[in-house]
Amino acid sequence: MSNTESRKEINSILIDIVEKALGSGIIGSVMVPSRGPENSFPWTLISDVSALERAEPLPPVMSVHGAKALASFTQSPSDGRLLAVMRPCEARAAVELSKLEQINLDNIILLTMDCPGAVPLSEYGEDGTIEPDLHHPDTLRPLCRQCIEFTSKGDLCLAIHGGLSMVVPLTTRGDELLDSLGMKAESDTSAWKEWASGLGQEREITRTESTDNLQKAYNGLQGLIEAFSGCISCRSCRTVCPICYCRLCFIDMKDRRSPASEYLERSRNSGATRLMSDTLLFHIGRMAHMSLSCVSCGMCEDACPSDIPIGRLVSMVSDNTTELFDYNAGSNSEDPLPLNTFRLEELHEYED
Amino acid sequence: MIENSVLISTSSTLDTMRRLLTQLLENREVDSVFALRETRQEGRYCYSLITDPSLVSEVLPFHPVMPVQGARALSNLTITEPFDRPVAALLRPCEIRAFVENVKQSQGSLENIFIISCTCPGVIPASRLLGEERDEVLRNPDENIRNACRACTEFIPGAQADMTVIIASDKPLDGAVIYLHSERAVETAEKFDSCTLEKGPPPTELTSELLEARGKALKELLRDIPAPGDGLRSLVSLFSACIGCRGCREACPLCSCVLCDYETARTAHSPELVRAEAKRKGSLRVPSGTLQFQLGRLMHISPICTSCGQCSDVCPVDIPVSDIFIRAANLVQESLNYFPGRDTDDTPPLATFVEKELLDITD
């Protein structure tokens, strides 16, 4: 099966499910990407079945992160049941955002799929025919190439590998939806799980290599300074990040402004000071705030106009911080956020 | 006496500029220099505030890049208090104009800033300098400049500049030619070694062919791009690929609000409203407000837009943002008879109440 066909197949199965669920009134609305003008794929909130005509649940690119789109209208519980069709990393971020009280998941069902990954926005802009291909990592965004959480997220997941072509329920909520759609099928999922574990192992290798390369290229504080030397302070990484939800970022607060004399003082210390200032403070601050909930979606890297490997850097930091707190972003809605949890006894190894 | 006084040096512009800046710092004529430098990473540039004269050797005056709009960086420096000692700032004409607008809106201060500007040949989009073709692009800057620069007719700095370095000119120059517009500039030039001070033709005479070419390009740009007159549908289509990164706003030197109106709880669409709209229409793009944001920015910024092109440069999905802004700015500024950055005393039109105005566009 070619990559185009597999995306087509996924799209048609997902649309069938959505149509059935919306048409029968089991759900009140659905959030799904649709095909817009000029080869664009905006998220759409649909309550009218006929509007599903333009739906493309698995587009070749990620324009806006699904969890961010979901958070834009679900801070309060929705009146009817909502089905959100999204990629695994989007479902994980939705779980994180629910913990951060930006999404109320009470009436929401998350439907995911075996994700082939996405094409970089810039490359898709030049050639709108590129298809994301699992087997050709060079078609994928760097973060997708090394993604190890590409399946089995949310309440249900469409499995199309290992000989399957069925929706696998992952939670009671997912179970109930399949039940009410009359789609519940007993089937052997062992080959699919084997596929996932095989690809997972390949991806782990890619991930380790990528981390090694990053560490070599950008070692220590000096390395970080170099990594971010091309930063133009456009803050797109922050704006497109599903986890960065503050209305006003700490870095933009008025009380953080410095007088001209302070910039001069900084300049005198080393002969010259870079402007805009505080590039590294911003990025390290973001890492400190985000890395525990980072789902390695790569939105930041895709949006960066200066081609900084920012997604890989934040993801690498996230590997370390989540390990430290034994936390896995988006995997379990019951796990409390480490930064919201006070323990009297912890992290003694970091004390003086 | 100052009018059309020119400093002429036989050495290259780069060398002359660096020596001039070194002199300014060493003689304590200025405390610091605000200029472009290449970072440790090849091909990456940043503005720097330099106090050590030995680092002037790293300055790349008017290198054809604009990593950050200079006005934005200067505003950052002077928003809480002006410089108390002189600083020499190397700024392009559109950066000066934007900074003048910043000052009018209490976002910075021109006090103690000695402005060295240039006849501006334009800058290259950042994306073209990231790939392998970088060297090739830098060899032919004229063919690779931003759309906004190609159509820029305001490439000669206005009254705020103390010096104008001739970079863009119809005919190639031997050595450096720097126009002196203020007493301070003349004093500085008089202390400068190995140069002559002369009277020259007005800088406009050195660039008349360029002005003609730019004017032609501007006309084409204004003719070719969609405008509000082309209807809402074309605007929807134009901004359909917008990913909401707000890079255009953050990079814009005129968008200076701490918290954008479209991020406030007052303006942002409530979850209830979004859900009700989706139900009413059957389908709704989310997050909502893409066009509202773009049109809002267009409304707030077009009277003061200095057509620098920074917004297009940062756009990760290549929406021709600055083309649209240039077109809107052209129409709006003409009808308000306001030209941003031209005169520090002109009050911004959105801050000015006139009882009888714009009658021609009222019903």
Residue A214 inside a domain? The answer is: no
Q: Are residues A172 and A289 in the same domain?
A: no
Question: Partners of A274 in the beta sheet?
Answer: B48
| Full pLDDT tens readout for chain B, 363 residues | 578 899 999 999 999 999 999 999 999 999 999 999 988 788 889 999 999 999 999 999 999 999 999 999 999 999 999 999 999 999 999 999 999 999 999 999 999 999 999 999 999 998 888 888 888 998 999 899 999 999 999 999 999 999 999 999 999 998 999 999 999 999 999 999 879 999 999 999 999 999 999 999 999 999 987 655 677 888 899 999 999 999 999 999 999 999 999 999 888 899 999 999 999 999 999 999 999 999 999 999 999 999 999 999 999 999 999 999 999 999 999 989 999 999 999 998 888 888 888 787 776
Q: Are residues B57 and B177 in the same domain?
A: yes
A170-186 pLDDT tens trace: 999 999 999 999 998 78
Q: From the CA of A209, how many Å to the nearest CA of chain B?
A: 23
Q: Are residues A111 and A184 in the same domain?
A: yes
Please report the residues numbered 179 through 238 in chain B whose beta carbons come closer than 8 angstroms to any beta carbon of chain A: 236-238
Residue A187 reports pLDDT greater than 90 = no
Chain A residue numbers with beta carbons less than 8 Å from the beta carbon of B315 are 305
Distance CA B144, CA B125 (A): 8
Burial B100-131 (b: 16+ CB within 10 A, else e): bbbbbeebbbbebbbbbbbbbbbbbbbbbbee
Among the partner residues B82, B271, B278, nearest to A29 by beta-carbon distance: B278
Using a CB–CB cutoff of 8 Å, tell me whether A307 touches chain B: yes
Q: How many CB atoms lie within 10 A of CB A43?
A: 27
Q: From the CA of B344, how many Å to the nearest CA of chain A?
A: 21
Residue A212 inside a domain? The answer is: no
Q: Are residues B168 and B256 in the same domain?
A: no
**Boundary residue ending a domain (B217, B239, B257):** B217
Residue-number span of the structural domain to which B249 is assigned:
230-361
How buried is B86 (Cβ within 10 angstroms: 0-12 exposed, 13-18 middle, 19+ buried)? middle
* Residue A3 confidence (pLDDT): 59
Interaxial angle between packed helices A260-270 and B70-78, expressed in degrees from 0 to 180 and rounded to the nearest 10: 110
Chain B residue numbers with beta carbons less than 8 Å from the beta carbon of A226 are 39-41
Residue length, chain B?
Answer: 363
Using a CB–CB cutoff of 8 Å, tell me whether A130 touches chain B: no
In chain B, the residue whose alpha carbon lies closest to the alpha carbon of A262 is B77
Distance CA B178, CA B7 (A): 5
A325-351 pLDDT tens trace: 999 999 999 999 999 999 888 888 888
Residue-number span of the structural domain to which A173 is assigned:
3-206
In chain A, the residue whose alpha carbon lies closest to the alpha carbon of B129 is A306
Count the domains in chain A. Answer: 2
Residue A261 inside a domain? The answer is: yes
Task: Give me the torsion for CA of B8, B14, B19, B24, rounded to 10°.
Answer: 90
Q: From the CA of B12, how many Å to the nearest CA of chain A?
A: 24
Count the domains in chain B. Answer: 2
A212-239 pLDDT tens trace: 999 999 999 999 999 999 999 999 999 9
Residue A305 reports pLDDT greater than 80 = yes
* Residue A127 confidence (pLDDT): 92
When pLDDT is averaged across residues A254-281 and rounded to a whole number, the result is 94
- A260 contacts B37? CB cut-off 8 A: no
Q: From the CA of B211, how many Å to the nearest CA of chain A?
A: 30
Q: Are residues A154 and A75 in the same domain?
A: yes
In chain B, the residue whose alpha carbon lies closest to the alpha carbon of A274 is B48
**Boundary residue ending a domain (B217, B240, B267):** B217
Q: Are residues A64 and A7 in the same domain?
A: yes
When pLDDT is averaged across residues A10-24 and rounded to a whole number, the result is 96
* Residue A146 confidence (pLDDT): 98
* Residue A78 confidence (pLDDT): 81
Chain B residue numbers with beta carbons less than 8 Å from the beta carbon of A271 are 50-52, 54-55
* Residue B226 confidence (pLDDT): 67
Regarding an ipTM greater than 0.90, the answer is yes
Q: From the CA of A248, how many Å to the nearest CA of chain B?
A: 6
Residue A9 inside a domain? The answer is: yes
């079945």: which residue's tokens?
A49
Q: Are residues A41 and A169 in the same domain?
A: yes
Distance CA B329, CA B302 (A): 4
**Boundary residue ending a domain (A147, A176, A206):** A206
Q: Are residues A183 and A235 in the same domain?
A: no
* Residue A178 confidence (pLDDT): 96
Q: Are residues B131 and B12 in the same domain?
A: yes
When pLDDT is averaged across residues A143-169 and rounded to a whole number, the result is 96
Residue B223 inside a domain? The answer is: no
Q: Are residues B202 and B243 in the same domain?
A: no
